[in-house]
Amino acid sequence: MMRYPNLVWAIEKKRFAHYEVAAIVKIERTRFSRCLHGVSEFAPHEMTRIGEALGYTAAWLFSEPKPPNSLTFDGENTAAVTLGGNDGKSN
């Protein structure tokens, strides 16, 4: 899993490959890949250069992913869709 989904989205939105962004911001491509996957950390000046190259703020590109809230009805977590129409009752 990618550590920075907003960064991955921005790269894809610009139709760049990861190695192209690495070349634009002058980061060795294996280091870029390791940072993208969370093995290493981007330096603050690298984050700034990446944000400038992609046209987004570094704060947004490198924000931690937030899972969506689950659907809650009457205080219980409930599936939004029942598949197959089987409600568990026998006929």
pLDDT digits (tens, 9 = 90+) for 42-60: 999 999 999 999 999 999 9
d(CA 5, CA 83): 29
User: What is the enclosing helix (H) or strand (E) of 73?
Assistant: strand 72-73
At 57, give phi and psi (nearest 5°).
-70, 145
Is 83 within the bounds of a domain?
no
Structural domain count of the chain? 1
Whole-structure pTM value: 0.70
CATH code for position 11: 1.10.260.40
Span 29-44, average pLDDT: 94
Is 54 within the bounds of a domain?
yes
